[in-house]
């Protein structure tokens, strides 16, 4: 079976700026490869000559794939208008079948439960089992043709899982994993259409199987098994193409593209989600990517014309081209708006003054690429195509949605049928405080919290009948499945809805405990420590903007003269001083003493303490930064700058110390001590020159310093240089919170080109 090792190049306009698509070529560079190339054959690995197709026939197979849905088959229940992946996949397949197309629905990876769910608590596991059961039934209704279970699905109870699948007639494909007593699972599956045969392998993981089930499960090495099995399909003339549905990590999935008898691998995007979607040629095989958690439905089309398994073209890049051309058009329009002219020659001088010809060439390529797309879409012949499936409208009477809608009742029935014994008696001094317990000392903060959506999070869950669902409780209650928290859904949020503990991390009782009083989270300078994105993911909160949303839930600060706070500072300081007298100071007590003195307004005493600490602190950068910030917050920016400068001199190459020093020079609370020119001088020593061969931020390590350079350039009146720096950052790091803040601050919002 021959395999081609080259992919016809698809040359794109990768950006108008050097930073938007690689370094701009210097004048005189060879550009013979620019512009739309002619399409060539051999774009995908070719099959053998043993196809059974009749001359003049066409074989087309459509594969619709869901990847690692992680239990959210119905989407996010509390998100109106959200994605409903399983129902959408079922409707997509139904429409294709209705059109007379040979279509198959493939489920790969953890479909029933989130990766990492383990055997932790019987009542918690009942909730997981109930959801898994309903999702499996919905998969059967959806018409899933092949299911490659993930490790969480298998870890829950492999025997139960496979029995349930057999009862529901869901074919399970596991090439490298076998379970004792389950000979019905498939090692391979051959799909045939008009004489063309597609061999399917399912590779998964089984590393988290429960101790009780380990004798039942036999897992073989993924790559070795895929190699042996694909060769057997080839040598026995059982398949013309072999595709691997992989539920292992991206690196071993990519390694399977090197196997001589494998033609395509469907896997994850992995940690590098900047990789091109669609299909890319790797080592002679196609690697196809599908976003997990139901964010998209993969659509793979294999079309073989007249038995031609040699001249097969990869059509996947075609679907990315229109989006990219449109993004580059938006980028061009943003420059027009920014500089107030649509004259390309003038824009070239403003945007890339060192090489205006480069900008002009890239601008001209936008139209050339549009024409190229039109030519490719007219292609006919044998082809392999992979892309996200087009959105479909799900009918109101969808049987999949009807099955998933039974979840609330199934949860109630499940807990009625099982006796777990009495609920535990609440501890009056529980480790995690209920917000009501904070009321005595924090009346204003409690009253404000009651007005936020967080305070009603659990009631929202109860309102839709999902208050027994372990997939929901972690983000709608406080303390679920955490240390010191609870795991039994029947307890009905004993620590309350999303509240004080979730942002501050303060345990109860903390009054009189210096560490808890002094080191609480979420002061004005520490909001970045909040774990907002653990719940507000792009699936659950697609329009979530932390900068805006944080202000909506930020409690009002306690006034420095509030009796409860003053008393707490005095108690904390007294405790620390007693430890000091007895020689039993704890590691952070010196820092806590500074915080307590500042809280009590004894600033000069705090400064003396800071000086004593910094005389011996030569390595703890976080301590130096915290001390400097405390002093800056109370108006002593002079001492704050001296404190961090002293540490920088002892550790000249420390990135965090240098970053804080530059930040203070730009943002000191005392405006008279801000020195943006000095900040620029410091940055020249820290950042490599822009034309350095080292590159500036290929790995993102210098983003912190580059956004500070934007601030310094803007503060010194160098708006054009600052804007260009920010545009370059936006092109590469548009999702970085630090970059987003600057785009909003200086441009009034995020340019359209960076939202794509």
Pairing of strands 188-193, 196-203: antiparallel
Of residues 316, 182, 189, the one with CA closest to residue 245: 189
How far are the Cα atoms of 438, 521, 567, 613 from residue 507, in angstroms, in the given order? 11, 12, 18, 28
pLDDT at residue 275 in the model: 43
Beta-carbon contacts of 271 under 8 Å, excluding residues fewer than 6 positions away, are 250
Q: How far apart are CA 680 and CA 668, in angstroms?
A: 15
Of residues 734, 739, 738, the one with CA closest to residue 755: 734
Q: In 157-247, which residue ranges form alpha helices assigned H by DSSP?
A: 158-168, 222-235
- Neighbouring CB atoms inside 10 A of 740's CB total 19
pLDDT at residue 458 in the model: 94
CA atoms within 13 A on the CB side of 288: 31
Beta-carbon contacts of 343 under 8 Å, excluding residues fewer than 6 positions away, are none
Is residue 39 within 8 Å of 8, Cβ to Cβ? yes
Q: How far apart are CA 413 and CA 404, in angstroms?
A: 15
pLDDT at residue 5 in the model: 30
Classified as helix, coil or strand, 587 is coil
How is the beta sheet containing 241-246 ordered, strand by strand?
Answer: 188-193, 196-203, 241-246, 264-267, 285-289, 278-282
Q: How far apart are CA 717 and CA 711, in angstroms?
A: 10
CA atoms within 13 A on the CB side of 115: 18
Q: How far apart are CA 204 and CA 149, in angstroms?
A: 7
The pair of structure tokens assigned to 86 is: 């399983």
The residue to which tokens 């548009």 are assigned: 734
pLDDT at residue 6 in the model: 31
Q: How far apart are CA 451 and CA 447, in angstroms?
A: 7
Classified as helix, coil or strand, 28 is coil
Beta-carbon contacts of 684 under 8 Å, excluding residues fewer than 6 positions away, are none
Peptide linkage before 530 cis (omega within 30 of 0): no
Of residues 325, 321, 266, 264, the one with CA closest to residue 296: 266
Of residues 600, 529, 532, the one with CA closest to residue 567: 600
The pair of structure tokens assigned to 611 is: 């000086």
- Residue 386 phi, psi (nearest 5): -145, 130
Q: How far apart are CA 707 and CA 725, in angstroms?
A: 8
Specify burial of residue 604 (Cβ count, 10 A radius: 0-12, 13-18, 19+).
Answer: exposed
- Cα dihedral across residues 69, 72, 78, 80: positive or negative: positive
Q: How far apart are CA 156 and CA 172, in angstroms?
A: 16
Classified as helix, coil or strand, 103 is strand
- Neighbouring CB atoms inside 10 A of 447's CB total 12
pLDDT at residue 413 in the model: 93
User: What is the DSSP secondary-structure string of 329-374?
Assistant: HHHHHHHHHHHT---HHHHHHHH-TT-HHHHHHHHHHHHHHHHHHH
Q: How far apart are CA 242 and CA 201, in angstroms?
A: 8
Is residue 139 within 8 Å of 105, Cβ to Cβ? no
pLDDT at residue 507 in the model: 67
Q: Which pTM was predicted? A: 0.72
The pair of structure tokens assigned to 740 is: 């987003």
Specify burial of residue 48 (Cβ count, 10 A radius: 0-12, 13-18, 19+).
Answer: middle
- Neighbouring CB atoms inside 10 A of 91's CB total 20
Q: How far apart are CA 287 and CA 267, in angstroms?
A: 7
- Residue 179 phi, psi (nearest 5): -125, 130
- Residue 465 phi, psi (nearest 5): 70, 25
Beta-carbon contacts of 736 under 8 Å, excluding residues fewer than 6 positions away, are 700, 703, 729
Burial 682-717 (b: 16+ CB within 10 A, else e): bbeebbeeeeeeeebbeeeebbbbbbbbbbbbbbee
Q: How far apart are CA 539 and CA 83, in angstroms?
A: 8
Cα angle 467-472-474, degrees, rounded to a multiple of 5: 105
Torsion of CA 465, 467, 472, 478, to 10 degrees: 150
pLDDT at residue 454 in the model: 93
Of residues 125, 142, 78, 144, the one with CA closest to residue 459: 78
Q: How far apart are CA 365 and CA 15, in angstroms?
A: 10
Is residue 703 within 8 Å of 739, Cβ to Cβ? yes
Classified as helix, coil or strand, 133 is helix
pLDDT at residue 692 in the model: 47
How far are the Cα atoms of 134, 147, 225, 268, 690 from residue 108, in angstroms, in the given order? 17, 6, 18, 10, 45
Pairing of strands 58-67, 102-109: parallel
- Neighbouring CB atoms inside 10 A of 551's CB total 9
Classified as helix, coil or strand, 401 is helix
Of residues 353, 525, 520, 502, the one with CA closest to residue 441: 520
pLDDT at residue 330 in the model: 79
pLDDT at residue 178 in the model: 92
What is the Cα Rg of the chain in Å? 30
Q: How far apart are CA 148 and CA 68, in angstroms?
A: 10
Q: How far apart are CA 687 and CA 706, in angstroms?
A: 8
The residue to which tokens 């059974």 are assigned: 52
Specify burial of residue 253 (Cβ count, 10 A radius: 0-12, 13-18, 19+).
Answer: buried
pLDDT at residue 3 in the model: 44
Q: How far apart are CA 100 and CA 387, in angstroms?
A: 20
Give the mean pLDDT per block of 10 residues along the chain (756 residues): 36 38 38 33 47 79 92 77 86 94 94 68 86 95 96 86 96 94 93 92 81 80 93 92 92 91 84 53 83 86 85 74 73 82 85 81 74 59 85 92 94 88 65 82 90 93 90 90 83 90 72 53 45 78 76 80 80 85 83 84 90 85 86 91 90 88 94 94 80 45 87 93 88 81 85 64
């Amino acid at each position: 079976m021959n395999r081609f090792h080259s992919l016809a190049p698809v040359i794109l306009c990768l950006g108008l700026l050097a930073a938007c698509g690689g370094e701009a070529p210097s004048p005189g560079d060879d550009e013979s490869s620019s512009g739309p190339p002619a399409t060539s054959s051999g774009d995908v690995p070719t099959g053998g000559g043993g196809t059974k197709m009749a001359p003049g026939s066409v074989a087309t197979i459509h594969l619709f794939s869901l990847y690692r849905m992680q239990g959210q088959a119905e989407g996010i229940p509390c998100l109106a208008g959200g994605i409903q992946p399983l129902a959408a996949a079922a409707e997509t397949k139904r429409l294709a079948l209705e059109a007379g197309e040979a279509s198959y629905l493939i489920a790969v990876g953890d479909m029933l439960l989130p990766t990492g769910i383990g055997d932790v608590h019987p009542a918690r596991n009942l909730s997981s089992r109930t959801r898994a059961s309903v999702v499996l039934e919905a998969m059967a209704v959806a018409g899933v043709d092949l299911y490659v279970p993930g490790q969480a699905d298998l870890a829950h109870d492999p025997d139960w899982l496979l029995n349930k699948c057999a009862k529901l007639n869901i074919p399970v494909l596991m090439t490298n994993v076998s379970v004792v007593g389950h000979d019905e699972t498939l090692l391979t599956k051959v799909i045939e259409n008009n004489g063309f045969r597609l061999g399917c392998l399912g590779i998964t993981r089984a590393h988290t199987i429960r101790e009780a089930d380990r004798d039942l499960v036999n897992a073989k090495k993924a790559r070795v098994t895929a190699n042996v099995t694909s060769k057997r399909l080839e040598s026995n003339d059982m398949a013309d193409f072999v595709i691997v549905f992989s539920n292992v990590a991206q690196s071993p999935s990519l390694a399977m593209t090197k196997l001589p008898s494998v033609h395509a691998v469907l896997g994850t995007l992995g940690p590098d989600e900047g990789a091109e979607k669609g299909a890319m040629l790797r080592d002679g095989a196609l690697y196809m990517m599908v976003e997990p958690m139901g964010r998209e439905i993969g659509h793979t089309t294999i079309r073989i014309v007249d038995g031609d398994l040699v001249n097969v073209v990869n059509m996947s890049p075609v679907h990315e081209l229109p989006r990219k051309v449109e993004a580059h058009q938006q980028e061009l329009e943003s420059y027009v708006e920014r500089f107030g002219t649509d004259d390309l020659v003038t824009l070239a001088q403003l945007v890339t003054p060192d090489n205006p010809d480069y900008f002009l060439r890239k601008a001209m390529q936008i139209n050339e690429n549009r024409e190229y797309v039109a030519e490719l879409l007219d292609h006919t012949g044998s082809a392999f195509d992979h892309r996200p499936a087009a959105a479909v409208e799900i009918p109101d009477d969808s049987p999949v949605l009807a099955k998933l809608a039974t979840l609330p009742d199934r949860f109630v029935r499940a807990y009625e049928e099982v006796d777990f014994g009495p609920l535990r008696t609440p501890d009056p001094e529980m480790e995690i405080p209920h917000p009501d317990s904070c009321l005595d000392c924090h009346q204003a903060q409690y009253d404000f919290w009651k007005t936020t959506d967080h305070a009603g999070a659990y009631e929202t869950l109860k309102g839709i009948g999902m208050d027994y669902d372990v997939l929901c409780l972690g983000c709608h209650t406080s303390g679920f499945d955490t240390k010191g928290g609870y795991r039994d859904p029947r307890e009905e949020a004993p620590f309350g809805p999303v509240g004080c503990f979730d942002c501050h991390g303060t345990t109860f009782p903390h009054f009189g405990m210096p560490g808890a009083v002094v080191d609480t989270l979420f002061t004005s300078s520490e909001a970045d420590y909040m774990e907002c994105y653990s719940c507000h993911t792009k699936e659950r909160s697609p329009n979530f903007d932390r900068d805006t949303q944080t202000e909506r839930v930020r409690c009002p600060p306690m006034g420095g003269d509030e009796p409860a706070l003053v008393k707490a500072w005095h108690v904390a300081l007294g405790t620390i001083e007693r430890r000091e007298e007895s020689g039993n100071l704890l590691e952070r007590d010196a820092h806590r003493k500074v915080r307590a003195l500042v809280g009590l307004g004894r600033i000069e005493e705090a400064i003396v303490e800071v000086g004593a600490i910094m005389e011996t602190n030569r390595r703890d950068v976080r301590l130096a930064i915290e001390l400097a910030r405390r002093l800056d917050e109370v108006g002593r920016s002079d001492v704050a700058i001296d404190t961090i400068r002293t540490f920088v001199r002892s550790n000249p190459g420390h990135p965090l110390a240098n970053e804080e020093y530059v930040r203070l020079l730009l943002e000191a609370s005392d405006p008279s001590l801000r020195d943006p020119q000095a900040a620029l001088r410091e940055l020249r020593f820290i950042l490599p020159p822009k034309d350095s061969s080292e590159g500036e931020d290929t790995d993102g390590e210098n983003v912190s310093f580059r956004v500070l350079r934007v601030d310094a350039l803007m503060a010194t009146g160098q708006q054009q240089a600052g804007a260009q720096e920010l545009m370059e950052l936006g092109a590469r790091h548009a999702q970085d919170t630090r970059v987003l803040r600057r785009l909003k601050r200086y441009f009034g919002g995020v340019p359209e080109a960076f939202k794509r």
